[in-house]
Amino acid sequence: MLDIQKIRADFPILSQTVNGKPLVYFDNGATSQKPQIVIDAIEKYYQEINANIHRGVHTLSQLATDAYEISRGKVQQHINAKFAHEVLFTPGTTHGINLVTNGFASILKPGDEVLVSALEHHSNIVPWQMLCEKTGAVLKVIPMNEDGELIMDAFDALLSEKTKVVTVNHISNALGIINPIKYIIEKAHAVGAAVLIDGAQAVPHLKPDVQELDCDFYVFSGHKMCGPTGTGILYGKEAWLNKLPPYQGGGEMIKEVTFEKTTYADLPHKFEAGTPNIAGGIVLGTAIDYLNNIGFDNIQKHEEELLEYATKRLLEIEGLRIYGTGKNKASVVSFNIDGIHPYDIGSIIDKLGIAVRTGHHCAQPIMNFFCIPGTIRASFSFYNTKEEIDLMVDAVKKAKTMLS
Ligand code: 7TS
């Protein structure tokens, strides 16, 4: 069992008051809070080893380079990538997806098909739409049902030899549904399509095993898993990363430059042009160590309890509907109350210290499916408690009374 009070003491922000009330932070899907060890590691980097990496022979540069590469190795181990050079540092999930779609511009032909799911965040829709506009490829959508689950029969029917890429999130940010990605990957590979998994909402809750999944790409952000903002990872199978052209040109990504011709560096540097977020990359490793020390089995167990408790308590409220009622769910509850705009509830409960996200959660197609402008989304982390859920439920009840 987790000692939640001890864990909470690692997060200085959690003992704050907001609007005169104790902070209840349920916007973890947007970004997680950071433990002191992560905050300290950022300071320590700038105080002790700040230097540019891969550039100088001097000692600090070497120390910074070593720390950066050690962190890459930690990520490799964490996601079980075969090689460290399959792990690319990026500024986040959005950047990682755009890197891949940019690369596929030289691969896709008119009439090829890209399958996205109905459950995607805009950052796993728009770059593929842009790619299809550029190449003449066709975007097709794996539909969902009323429970917010992808319809696998429809997916099977969409697959054909025209399918070149399938892109789907591991866990939906708006509904919390966990997608059957293992099945999706197997089926997509059977027709020769590459598969990108958007793991942005998965990595705070579970430890992905990219070799076991056999996905071609797996992208995520560091800031949702206790790491700094402006950090992220794109995992790609070696063969794919060798096949894709570089995303950005510049320093660090070359072997030799002449005005006639430039040759590119080997992986991973081919995709890491310019000075990266060095402190961020190093400290992402600290965040991963922190999470592994707590243990993902423990995290999952606690979060499952929170999800079950929150679902039960919220459903006590008359007129409340939860979106995303499928079986396989992460600790996210998206809901509305009959006749009340989600923004109004969100604003009132903010005054009571409760931080949730309201709106379309950058997943407008999901909102269109349910014919709603948005939802109230409470997304829980391992440092949240049932007592906090009680505070939220009381606050929502109060808001409902005020607004009815
Ligand atoms: N994919 C998914 C599934 C996401 O949830 C998000 C961010 C992104 C991609 C983009 O990540 P970024 O780090 O590059 O911005 N999701 C959310 C959210 O649900 N609320 O705020 C950001």
pLDDT given for residue 14 in this prediction: 98
The rounded Å distance from CA 282 to ligand 1 centre is: 21
Cis check for the bond before 268: say yes or no (omega within 30 of 0).
yes
CA pair distance 112, 109, nearest whole angstrom: 6
Give the helix/strand (H/E) hosting 88.
strand 87-90
Residue-wise pLDDT tens digits, 13-29 = 999 999 999 999 999 99
Collapsed DSSP state (helix, strand, coil) of residue 335: strand
The rounded Å distance from CA 404 to ligand 1 centre is: 32
Break the chain into its structural domains and give their ranges.
4-30+296-403, 39-292
The second-level CATH assignment, the architecture, of 39-292 is: 3-Layer(aba) Sandwich (3.40)
Length of the chain: 404
User: C-alpha dihedral over 31, 36, 42, 46, to 10 degrees?
Assistant: 150
Closest ligand 1 atom to Cα of 94: 14
The rounded Å distance from CA 363 to ligand 1 centre is: 10
What predicted TM-score, i.e. pTM, was given to this entire model? 0.98
CA pair distance 215, 297, nearest whole angstrom: 23
Q: Is 362 a catalytic residue?
A: yes
CA pair distance 97, 35, nearest whole angstrom: 28
Residues with CB under 6 Å of ligand 1 are 29-30, 92-94, 121, 123-124, 169, 173, 198, 200-201, 221, 357, 361-362
Q: What is the mean pLDDT of residues 339-356?
A: 98
Check: CB of residue 359 under 8 Å from CB of residue 27: no
Residue-wise pLDDT tens digits, 303-345 = 999 999 999 999 999 999 999 999 999 999 999 999 999 999 9
State the DSSP string of 195-258.
EEEE-TTTTTT----HHHHT-SEEEEESGGGTS-TT-EEEEE-HHHHHHSPPSS-STTSEEEE-
Domains 4-30+296-403 and 39-292 share a fold: no
pLDDT given for residue 183 in this prediction: 98
pLDDT given for residue 153 in this prediction: 98
Tokens of 43: 């300071």
Check: CB of residue 193 under 8 Å from CB of residue 165: yes
The second-level CATH assignment, the architecture, of 4-30+296-403 is: Alpha-Beta Complex (3.90)
Q: What is the mean pLDDT of residues 168-188?
A: 98
Tokens of 179: 């997608």
